[in-house]
Amino acid sequence: MAVLPIQSLLTQLQRVLRDGRSALLTAPPGAGKTTVVPLALLNESWLQKQRMIMLEPRRLAARAAARRMASSLGEAVGETVGYRIRFETKVSAKTRIEVVTEGILTRLLQHDPSLGGYGLVIFDEFHERSLHADLGLALTLEAQRVLRNDLRILVMSATLDCAAVATLLGDAPVVSCEGQLFPVETHYLDRQGSMPVDQAVSQMIKRALADETGSMLVFLPGMAEIRRVERRLLESGLASNVLIAPLHGDLPQQAQDLAIASPIAGTRKIVLSTSIAETSLTIEGVRVVIDSGLMRVSRFEPRTGMTKLDTIKITHDSAEQRRGRAGRLEPGVCYRLWTAAEHKSLLLRRPPEIIDADLAPLVLELAVWGTGDAGDLSWLDSPPVGALTQAKDLLARLCAIDPHGRITAHGRRMADIPLHPRLAHMISKAVPLGLGHLACEVAALLGERDILRGPPGWRNADLRGRLDALHGHGRHEAGVTVDRGTVQRVVRVAQQIQTIVHRESSRGGRQNAHDQQQVDPVGVLLAFAYPDRIAQRQPGDACRYLLANGRGASFSQHEPISSEDYLVMADLEGSAEWARVFLAAPIAEVDLDRHC
């Protein structure tokens, strides 16, 4: 087995954490920091047999890191090394290393601000600067300062502004690992491309199959592009020894495991992935990377209170992360679908998520923590004032905080449900009405991609049709199909949410006759979640609606639901003057008066 670059720095890192409370470790992709460092620190005397917790930005990375470390110890996951992710926990009384997704640390801190029983918190891949990671670090620093001066904090990253992070950590020492395991040859386009991304990527894959050996990792912006490239490759006729393996966060665990596992001897694997494979994962057998140069991100617009998905160019640091995937196991090759001149114009790194995210979840957590002013905590980048104000207004409307910004009893119950505050409020309000079970299904539907697939140009914004499809009822228009894989995921997530809300929701599906006669349930549930998006139809035939927040919304074409007097909008594209409606449900005026 090759010696990993990080191993030469372990003694220095151990000394730094022995002498101080915080450290920053920077190392390039493939250096081994994720799976080597926690094990190297496990028996340090200052840890005193306490547990350590390591944050990973994604569920797949958390599971994979735990499995690799457990395997290196000759153990099963859940013994010395375990993991906690949303809706799934594999730890035991023996567990010393807990690999968790970022929201889990926040929950642990909220239930025990001293993090009793933990001696070290590791923030892995911190350069991604997710909202949860920034919040988790701010709360952990506060816990260290006020309650636990013996608690160690280690921030690890491949690319990062070291000076700013070191200062935030109290002028912490920086331990740097240079170099990577193997060299990677990089190819650029000769001239700027003009063909669709799926066509360009498919052509490059065919070229790489002919010119190179080994398996390949292909970066695409999203699931739609993955499906199109997969279809193109299958239609082109691949050799029988070539396996296509999609990889994204919505896949079942078995399919994800297939994508990252070693290819069967004599076969080659083409992993079609979103940015989920950029960090933390070692995909066995890969020595070729093909990078589309694109990624999909969600952006919150405080002016409209809406979040939308944008496809953008990747940044320089992301490009280097992706390139590094090719050199983990042997010398590799990276094909970039942009020119060398375009590469020079890439942004160095993406702005942190806290700058353009919906801050309602963050403000709710701060209120639970007892902090009404975000400025009381230490941040690398302070949350924007406009987004904070919008978040506080929403939480006040949802009765999660009082007029002084203090958490309410209802807000505490919301925070214990691992969903956006809108959906947590919806579920909490639904249970007394006997709608808890339905609310969990609605929340799961809203958190997954659409379970209905239609032909080009097909539009149907009625959420009730998705619920019918979920239950196997209803008839759909010609050419519309139900995505069974997504349906299974929605059902599973809905069941998991019900368990978390203490099984009240599972009893909520049994409505009494009064509820069935008097409540239009789906519209009422959406009104609980989106009170600012209750909308009244405007006069005329333009299918336009005026929302409670003063914004406008419209349908791109006539739909049966677009004739309703009142709607509640769950999914909108918020950039235009008249936002386009993607998902909604009608609500009766009598239900508005009674419940809203």
SS3 track for 30-79: CCCHHHHHHHHHCCCHHHCCCEEEEEECCHHHHHHHHHHHHHHCCCCCCC
Distance CA 337, CA 219 (A): 10
Contact criterion met (CB below 8 Å) for 273 and 217: yes
Predicted local distance difference test score (pLDDT) of residue 574: 65
DSSP 126: G
Q: What are phi and psi of 101, to 5 degrees?
A: -80, 160
Burial class (CB in 10 A: 0-12, 13-18, 19+), 342: middle
* 71-110 residue pLDDT tens: 999 999 999 999 999 888 999 999 999 999 988 999 999 9
Tokens of 305: 């209170």
Q: Which helix (H) or strand (E) holds 345?
A: none
User: Please, which contacts does 188-192 make with residues 24 or more away whose CB atoms are closer than 8 Å?
Assistant: 188/336, 188/338, 188/339, 188/340, 188/343, 189/336, 189/337, 189/338, 189/339, 190/339, 191/339, 192/338, 192/339, 192/342
Taking only Cα atoms into account, the Rg of the chain, rounded to an integer number of angstroms, comes to 25
Predicted local distance difference test score (pLDDT) of residue 511: 42
> Per-residue b/e over 443-462, b at no fewer than 16 CB within 10 Å?
bbbbebeebbeeeeeeebbb
Distance CA 449, CA 253 (A): 17
Question: If DSSP states are collapsed to H, E and C, what string results for 368-410?
Answer: HHCCCCHHHCCCCCCCCHHHHHHHHHHHHHCCCECCCCCECHH
Predicted local distance difference test score (pLDDT) of residue 363: 97
Type of residue at 444: A
Type of residue at 264: I
What's the whole-number average pLDDT of the chain? Answer: 89
Q: How many CB atoms lie within 10 A of CB 179?
A: 11
User: Please, which contacts does 83-86 make with residues 24 or more away whose CB atoms are closer than 8 Å?
Assistant: 85/59, 86/59, 86/418
Q: What sign has the CA pseudo-torsion 568, 574, 579, 583? A: negative
Helix (H, G, I), strand (E, B) or coil at 173: coil
Predicted local distance difference test score (pLDDT) of residue 380: 93
Q: How many CB atoms lie within 10 A of CB 313?
A: 15
Helix (H, G, I), strand (E, B) or coil at 300: strand
Contact criterion met (CB below 8 Å) for 446 and 570: yes
Distance CA 104, CA 86 (A): 7
Q: Which residues of the chain register pLDDT less than 50?
A: 503-517
Domains and CATH numbers, the chain: 5-176 (3.40.50.300), 184-344 (3.40.50.300), 417-595 (no CATH)
Distance CA 122, CA 116 (A): 16
Between β-strands 118-123 and 51-56, what pairing exists: parallel, antiparallel or unpaired?
A: parallel
Helix (H, G, I), strand (E, B) or coil at 101: strand
Distance CA 263, CA 214 (A): 9
Tokens of 177: 């690992």
Distance CA 297, CA 293 (A): 13
Q: For the whole model, what pTM was predicted?
A: 0.88
Type of residue at 482: V
Q: How many CB atoms lie within 10 A of CB 514?
A: 9
Distance CA 80, CA 99 (A): 11
Burial class (CB in 10 A: 0-12, 13-18, 19+), 131: buried
Q: What are phi and psi of 281, to 5 degrees?
A: -95, 140
